[in-house]
Amino acid sequence: MTRLQTWSALVLAAAVFPAAQASSHREAPFITRHPKVDATDFYMFRSYEPGRDKFVTLIANYQPLQDPYGGPNYFSMDPDALYEIHIDNNGDAKDDLTFQFRFQNMNKDAKFNVGGKQVSIPLVINGGPIDTVNPAGLNVRETYTLTVVRGDRRAGARTVVGTFDKPVDNIGNKSIPDYAGYAAKHVYSVNLPGCATPARMFVGQRKDPFVVNLGETFDLINIKAPAVEFAANAERAARDDLADANVTTIALEVAAACLTSGSDPVIGGWTTASLRQGRLLNPAPGNGAAPSKEGGAWTQVSRLGMPLVNEVVIGLKDKDRFNSSKPSGDSQFADYVTNPTLPALVEVLYGGAGAKAPTNFPRNDLVAAFLTGVKGLNQPATVTASEMLRLNTAIAPAAKGSQKRLGVIDGDTAGFPNGRRPGDDVVDIALRVVMGKLCTLNLGCKPTDAPAGALRFTDGAYLDDSGFAASFPYLNTPLTGSPQQ
| Per-residue pLDDT reduced to its tens digit, 189-238 | 999 999 999 999 999 999 999 987 666 655 655 555 555 655 567 788 77
pLDDT at 216: 61
* Regions of the chain short of the pLDDT cut 50: 1-22
pLDDT at 226: 54
pLDDT at 29: 64
* Nearest-10 Cα torsion for 22, 28, 33, 38: -60
**β partners of residue 51:** none
Distances (CA, A) of 71 to 64, 139, 168, 200, 248: 15, 14, 11, 29, 15
CB 305 within 8 A of CB 388: yes
Distances (CA, A) of 138 to 111, 128, 172, 176: 12, 7, 13, 11
Q: What is the pTM of this model?
A: 0.92
CB 425 within 8 A of CB 419: no
CB 251 within 8 A of CB 186: no
Residue type, 317: K
**β partners of residue 138:** 125
Half-sphere exposure (Cβ direction) of 56: Cα atoms closer than 13 Å = 26
- Compute the distance between CA of residue 64 and CA of residue 336 in angstroms, rounded to an integer: 26
What's the mean per-residue pLDDT of the chain?
88
SS3 sequence of 157-174: EEEEEEEEEECCCCCCCC
| Per-residue pLDDT reduced to its tens digit, 80-135 | 999 999 999 999 999 999 999 999 999 898 998 999 999 988 888 877 789 999 99
SS3 sequence of the chain: CCHHHHHHHHHHHHHHHHHHHCCCCCCCCHHHHCHHHCEEEEEEEECCCCCCCCEEEEEEEEEEEECCCCCCCCCCCCCCEEEEEEEECCCCCCCCEEEEEEEEEEECCCEEEECCEEEECCCCECCCCCCCCCCCCECEEEEEEEEEEECCCCCCEEEEEEEEEECCCCCCCCCCCCHHHHHHCCCEEECCCCCCCCEEEEEEEEECCCCCCHHHHHCCCCCCCCCECCCHHHHHCCCCCCCCCEEEEEEEEEEHHHHCECCECEEEEEEEEEEEEEEEECCCCECCECCEEEEEEEEEEEEECCCCHHHHCCCHHHHHHHHCCCHHHHHHHHHHHHCCCHHHHHHHHHHHHCCCCCCCCCCHHHHHHHHHCCCCCCCCCCCCCCCCEEEECCCCCCCCCCCCCCHHHHCCCCCCCECECCCCCHHHHHHHHHCCHHHHCCCCCCHHHCCCCCCCECCCCCCCHHHCCCCCCCCCCCCCCCCCC
- Compute the distance between CA of residue 195 and CA of residue 393 in angstroms, rounded to an integer: 16
pLDDT at 5: 38
Backbone angles phi, psi at 261, to 5 degrees: -135, 125
pLDDT at 28: 62
